[in-house]
Every structure is written in structure tokens, then in C-alpha cells.
Amino acid sequence: MNWTRTVGTTAAFRHEALLYGGKADFLESTVPFIREGIRAEEPVLAVLERHKIDWLRDALGEDADDVFFEDMREVGANPARLIAAWRRFSSAHPESPALRGIGEPVTPERSAAALDECRRHEAVLNIAFNGGRDLWLLCPYDTEALPSSVVEDARTTHPLIAEGGTEHPSHCYEHAAGVLAGELPGAPADAQELAFGEGNGREVRAFAEQVAREQGLRPEGIESVVFAAGELAANTVVHGGGEGTIAAWDESGSVVLEVRDRGVVDNPLVGRLRPNVDEARGRGLWLVNQLCDLVQIRSGPEGTAIRVHAS
């Protein structure tokens, strides 16, 4: 695999899926990619699970000192936080003409809902960095550990594919089509529900707190659930037609909240980018993403559903 940039090309976001099978295959591609970045004096950030960071440190030897590492379980537990992490990396190196990254949010330990959000994250990356810094982002997918459907999804969200020692354009790349489209699975029959409108913020927060306490969440988890409920309800009042419903239930030890209203969300980056100090809008959903384990947004002509998971 040739990991050298083509001289004279214009700055561009290069988003590439690396399809590999097992540890040896992973290192065979990622180590040369990193070393070529070091040789070219391009800052390199690897956001991976801790054991894969250890693999790379061992394989790189002294070269590991020239690489920035971050733990995916901390940075990207909620995949909606990852674009901001790559933006921070970019901002930290304003003088560098080019950057490299390795990010692997898609792992077999993720739930089905989280894997779907990872797919949507990979798609929206193509919007977030299009026309920006010269960032070459390599996204590994373990073909031996992941379901084949998840690996095939990588071909739709990455313009370039690296596999079997070669690189080629994806034949089924879809840019960022339908990032917010689709339906969430139905709420369980025993879900609790509350209708609300303007002036019902206190009732919504009390409803969320009661559910969180009933499910035995830790104090921090209760605070996250209450905050999320309040912010989502406030968004509904301001942007979603003035009234909506909030449902809540337990799912594998976590509390799930879902707010539905008649509003339409048309910005696929909503809640993923840290608002500027002088921006009055956008803070609520950003903070919900920072506090909650997973945030799912589905929007269309009939309205919007936002589902958050917190533990």
C-alpha cells in the first residue's frame, strides 16, 4: 500500500476505509501509514481502543513518541462526539499543511443502535470536513470480527477503500445521503409517556427524574437524563411546533428517552460541533451529546424523533 501523498494535489479531506482481518493485517497497514506521516512531518492522531493503541506503540517503537493517541472508549463512546475531536486535532496544528488520523469507532462490542449511529457518523464526516483542512482519515474495519453488513456499510460511507494491499474508489459510495432519515424502532409497550407544551418544562424534568430513579441510575446518570429531557423539550417548544411527547423506558440497564414533535431538522451536523462562545443556539443538543451515551436523531416531513440513552 502506498501511503505517500501525491505532490501538488489541492488540500482535501481524504476519507478511506481500511478493511483488515486481525491484528497482523491491522498493523501491516496502519504502521506504514503512520510512519509515512511522521516522515512527511504531518501530525498523526490515532483514536482507537486501548489494546490497539498498545499494539501500535509496541510496533512503532520510538516512533510512537511522535504520534498522538486517544482512547476511543473515552472520546467516542457516543460517536456523535468524534467530529469535534477531529476538529480539535486540526485546530491544535494550525501551521501544519497536512494531517493524518486513524479512527476506529466501529467495533463488535457496540450495540446495534450504536453501530447504526457509527455508520451515520462516518457519512456525516464527509460533510463536516469537505473543503477544509488536508486531513487523511483512515478508518479500520475488522472483517473477521464485524458482521458482513457492517463492513458493506463502510463502502457506502467512504469514498476510498483500502483492502488486500490495494486502494480503489468505492463503487457504492453515497456521500451523506439520508443521515437523518429513517425510523427508530418502536418504543416498548411498557414505556411511560407524557405530552407537553410551553410551560411544562418542570413536569418534563420531574417525569424524567422519576423514571431514572426507578431504574436505579447513579446520581450522575439521573442528572444527565433530567438535563436531556429539559433541553429536548425546550427545543420542541421553540423549534418543533410548540408541543410534543416524551417517552421513557429501561433498556439493558440504561434509561432511554424519546422526544417527538412536528419540527424538521435539516442540519446533519446538529449537536456534533461545539458552538462558538457567541452562538446562542445549538448548545442544548451539543451538551446532551456530551452527557449521554448515545443520541439518535431521525427527521422527515412528518416530524422529528430524538432518542437518548443514558446510564
Where is average pLDDT lowest: 71-85, 95-109, 145-159, 264-278? Answer: 264-278
Q: For the domain that residue 45 is a member of, what is the CATH number?
A: 3.40.50.300
152 and 276 co-located in one domain? no
158 and 31 co-located in one domain? yes
pLDDT of 8 > 60? The answer is no
Instruction: Tell me, yes or no, whether 230 lies in a domain.
Output: yes
Each residue's pLDDT tens digit, 160-179: 999 999 999 999 999 887 89
Q: What is the mean pLDDT of residues 98-108?
A: 97
Q: What is the mean pLDDT of residues 35-60?
A: 98
19 and 141 co-located in one domain? yes
Q: What is the mean pLDDT of residues 138-147?
A: 98
Each residue's pLDDT tens digit, 12-32: 899 999 999 999 999 999 999
140 and 21 co-located in one domain? yes
Instruction: Tell me, yes or no, whether 183 lies in a domain.
Output: no
- pLDDT at 5 (0 to 100): 80
99 and 159 co-located in one domain? yes
Each residue's pLDDT tens digit, 236-281: 999 999 999 999 999 988 999 999 999 999 999 999 999 886 666 6
145 and 43 co-located in one domain? yes
- Report residue 133's pLDDT band, with 50, 70 and 90 as the boundaries: confident
- pLDDT at 279 (0 to 100): 64
Q: What percent of the chain has pLDDT over 90?
A: 90
Domain of 112 in residue numbering reads as 14-169
Ordered DSSP codes for the chain: ---PPPTTPPP--EEEEEEE-HHHHHHHHHHHHHHHHHHTT--EEEEE-HHHHHHHHHHHGGGGGGSEEEEHHHHSSSGGGHHHHHHHHHHT-TT-S-EEEEE----TTS-HHHHHHHHHHHHHHHHHSTTSS-EEEEEEEETTTS-HHHHHHHHHH-SEEEETTEEEE-TT--TTTTSS-S-PPPPPTT-EEEEEETT-HHHHHHHHHHHHHHTT--HHHHHHHHHHHHHHHHHHHHHSSSEEEEEEEEETTEEEEEEEES-----TTTTTSPPPTT--SSHHHHHHHHHSSEEEEEEETTEEEEEEEE-
- Looking at 115, 134, 169, the residue that finishes a domain is 169
Give the chain's domain count: 2
262 and 206 co-located in one domain? yes
Q: For the domain that residue 299 is a member of, what is the CATH number?
A: 3.30.565.10
- pLDDT at 113 (0 to 100): 96
Instruction: Tell me, yes or no, whether 24 lies in a domain.
Output: yes
Instruction: Tell me, yes or no, whether 9 lies in a domain.
Output: no
Instruction: Tell me, yes or no, whether 1 lies in a domain.
Output: no
- pLDDT at 282 (0 to 100): 67
142 and 26 co-located in one domain? yes
pLDDT of 10 > 70? The answer is no
Among 74, 47, 14, 12, which Cα is nearest to 140's? 47
- pLDDT at 283 (0 to 100): 86
126 and 215 co-located in one domain? no
Instruction: Tell me, yes or no, whether 261 lies in a domain.
Output: yes
135 and 260 co-located in one domain? no
